[in-house]
Amino acid sequence: MTLEEIATFIVADGKGILAADESNPTCGKRFDSIGVESTEENRRDYREMLFRSKGMKGNIGGVILFDETIRQSAADGTLLREIILKQGALPGIKVDKGLQPIENFPGETVTVGLDGLDERLKEYAEMGAKFTKWRAVINIGDGIPSDECIHANMDSLAQYAKCAQENGMVPIVEPEVLMDGEHSIDACYDASERSLKSLFEHLEKYQVNIKGTILKPNMVTSGSNHNIQASINEVATRTIDCLVKNVPSELPGVAFLSGGQSDVLATAHLDAMNKIGGFSWKLSFSYGRALQAAALKAWEGKVENIFISQDELSHRAEMNKLASLGEWDEKLEDR
Ligand code: 13P
């Protein structure tokens, strides 16, 4: 498959991405919430359960994995990445190495991982990964984000994207403006616009093929502690406006992160945007928490809960596919 074919396949027909690339510490936090110990085997069992869910088929075009998971086999010995392929989705891999504070810029971080990236990508390509992900994090606060932080993060994102394409894999570029804080939706718009402008300038500078790239942005929302939360319609219109002004039309897909939104709200926002329309790219999802939260809660680490947990994941995958087509309705959530 060419880069263009991979990128268009992942977001075809309303399909989206299941982000299951939580690092072991993050997975530990998720498991703590249901009282399950984060062992290698439990992480395997949980992800095997997700990937075998009926609702993967037809709704999920790609799954982002963590290094441990792309190497893991299911309890019956089948590689987890083979299960993903059988469900009609492509396996992808998170390749950044996390956040590092920027010296003299309090409250800001840069994502690291360019050292040795080419070798790591070669190994993942051999294992069958078809796409990759790198997440940059932009914080909003007093006087931040700084231009220096945005520049450093977008430069690394673009270098990573070039390297992924040279190794035959589609880069998912994720410039996440965090929801955390008391800021207004205007502040989120401004930080998102500055980040996207800088990102596409850097992608052009490093001659990244935009047609073989997927953007994973945040939606433009009020800060999670802002006193008034913007309505669904306002989030939808401000997000579309920001993207249309700053994202080239030849990009095949935009797949949002959920960033701490509740699962139904993340679906409602995506649906509202697709009902409004007026953009050239597929507008889809690459949710972690908003796809997994209900499934994780239902599971509790117990074998007897596997079917209800899979049913929860299947339901969310289906709801988000409908939202990607602008065909979701709140009534469909009543089951
Ligand atoms: P959330 O949807 O939980 O924000 O996770 C998506 C993701 O992959 C963050 O990098």
Exposure string for 217-242, b = 16+ CB within 10 A, e = fewer: bbbbbbbeebeeebeeeebbbbbbeb
Residue 335 pLDDT class (50, 70, 90 cuts): confident
Confidence (pLDDT) at 217: 99
Please, what is the Cα angle at 177 between 171 and 180, to 5 degrees? 140
Domains present along the chain, CATH in parentheses: 3-328 (3.20.20.70)
In contact, 89 and 61? CB cutoff 8 Å: yes
- Give pLDDT tens digits for 311-324: 999 999 999 999 99
The 10s digit of each residue's pLDDT in 220-258 is 999 999 999 999 999 999 999 999 999 999 999 999 999
Average pLDDT of the residues of the chain: 98
The residue among 290, 61, 313 whose CA lies nearest residue 172 is 61
Residues linked to residue 134 through DSSP beta bridges, in sequence order: 173
pLDDT over 90 (residue 185): yes
**258 Cα nearest atom in ligand 1:** 2
For ligand 1, residues with CB inside 6 Å are 19, 21, 135, 174, 257-259, 287-290
User: What pLDDT shows up at residue 37?
Assistant: 98
Q: What is the mean pLDDT of residues 266-291?
A: 98
**What is the predicted pLDDT for the residue at 62?**
99
**pTM for this prediction:** 0.98
pLDDT at residue 278 in the model:
96
- Quick check: 256 and 220 in contact, CB under 8 A? no
pLDDT band at 87 (very low <50, low <70, confident <90, very high): very high
Q: How far is the CA of 154 from the centre of ligand 1 (A)?
A: 18
**Which residues lie below 8 Å from residue 320, measured CB to CB, with a gap of 6+?**
16, 59, 266, 267, 270, 284, 285, 287, 290, 291, 328
Condensed to tens digits (0 to 9), the pLDDT of residues 130-169 reads: 999 999 999 999 999 999 999 999 999 999 999 999 999 9
Instruction: For residue 29, count other CB atoms closer than 10 A to its CB.
Output: 11
Segment 283-302 shows an average pLDDT of 98
Q: How far is CA 93 from CA 57, 167, 218, in A?
A: 20, 13, 20
Residues 6+ apart with CB under 8 A from 271: 322, 323, 326, 327, 328
Nearest CA to ligand 1 atom 10: 135
To which residue do tokens 């396949």 refer? 9
Query: What pLDDT, on the 0 to 100 scale, is given for residue 133?
Result: 99
CA-based nearest residue to 91, from 54, 135, 47: 47
